[in-house]
Amino acid sequence: MLITETAVPDVFRIDPQPLPDHRGRFYEALRRGPLEAAVGHAVEIRQVHCTVSGRNVLRGLHATTLPPGQAKILTCVRGAVLTMVVDMRVGSPGFGRYEAVRQDAGAGTALYLPDGIGLGYVALADDTCMNYLCTEEYVPGMVIDVDALDPELGLPWELTGKPVRSARDAAAPSLRAAASAGILPTYEDCLRVRRPVPAAGERTGI
């Protein structure tokens, strides 16, 4: 697999290297050792969940509070999406910076998002399924919402019509308002919660 850092600091793109033959193809979707070597800290999966969306459904932008935090590895396993990742870490050198990545089931491209990174995506096909590998279990109230259509962010969604959104997502504040309200994590706190890569023989999880 090829692991490269995106324009958003600490967010990594994971591109599998498929091996095709007459039966189809094989590829490694994720391997913990190379991922931890790239990101520089431990990654331990504690929860897996999925979303299923119709075409033109827009989810996000969502981040999580610290504590507990929740880093993610996001993959499209059916259909296709246009994904946006936004640096929401107050004090980060990349605060407000975004990266747009198309993810589809055929390519298998994954994204690693550490704590403090906002996530949103629009489904480009009906019955699109996104798979999340999460480093912490969900806790009610942990999700931070920011408006995916915040004009100051200017995310290039390339929408062809009015997106389908939840009432909560549509009512979310701008990034500036969220920062002013003190609901965003700080860059320092996001770095502080990272755990060192375990020594050989000490690994748990994936």
Q: How far apart are the C-alpha atoms of 122 and 80, rounded to whole Å?
A: 9
Query: What ranges in 78-124 are assigned the alpha helix state H?
Result: none
Among this protein's residues, is 62 annotated catalytic? yes
| Token pair in block for residue 169 | 């997502």
Q: Which of 62, 98, 121, 187 is catalytic?
A: 62
C-alpha closest to that of 69 among 129, 114, 12, 31: 114
Q: Which of 98, 112, 132, 187 is catalytic?
A: 132
Please name the helix (run of DSSP H) or strand (run of DSSP E) that holds residue 178, with its range, or none.
helix 175-180
Sign of the torsion angle spanned by Cα atoms 189, 191, 196, 197? positive
C-alpha closest to that of 147 among 187, 193, 110, 178: 178
Among this protein's residues, is 138 annotated catalytic? no
C-alpha closest to that of 2 among 21, 18, 15: 15
Q: How far apart are the C-alpha atoms of 197 and 202, rounded to whole Å?
A: 9
What residues act catalytically? 62, 132
